[in-house]
Amino acid sequence: MPARRLDGLGLEIRDALAVKIDTQGAEALVIAGGRGVLARAGLLALEFWPYALAANVGDVGVILDFLRENFQHGEIVPGDSAEPTEREPIAALVSRLAILADTDRTDLDVYHDVWLSK
């Protein structure tokens, strides 16, 4: 079956929408193909794996811009951590992700779970 863009599926979303994106570094491609649908999500869970992002898309700007434009708050949780984290405004979260994208991009084992809300 050929791949199709999420925004091209003609989905009618009437209720609350929660989305999880965990595509091993291809998150920017998912966002690029589904901006309209994903922007409707009230809750978004996103795996942020700088190593794979650098290998697959190089520039995480697509992700960071989308988050900044569509969400108000979020949390960054180190991968597989059960430690509670603080919710923060989207501008601070996006700034931290930009730093993590640069500092962690050569470490295969480091990833972060990002939780975002409106």
Q: Which residues span the domain enclosing 49?
A: 16-117
Rg for the chain, CA atoms, rounded: 14
- Tell me, what's the pLDDT at 58? 61
Domain count, the chain: 1
Residue 43 neighbours by CB under 8 Å, 6+ apart: 17, 18, 19, 115, 116, 117
pLDDT digits (tens, 9 = 90+) for 96-116: 999 999 999 999 999 999 999
Q: Is 6 domain-assigned?
A: no
Q: Is 56 domain-assigned?
A: yes
Q: Is 5 domain-assigned?
A: no
> pTM, whole model, 2 decimals?
0.90
pLDDT digits (tens, 9 = 90+) for 26-37: 999 999 999 999
* Distance in angstroms (rounded) separating the CA atoms of residues 96 and 94: 5
| CATH number of the CATH domain containing 53 | 3.30.950
Q: Is 1 domain-assigned?
A: no
Is the model's pLDDT at 59 over the cut of 80?
no
Whether 114 contacts 74, CB under 8 Å? yes
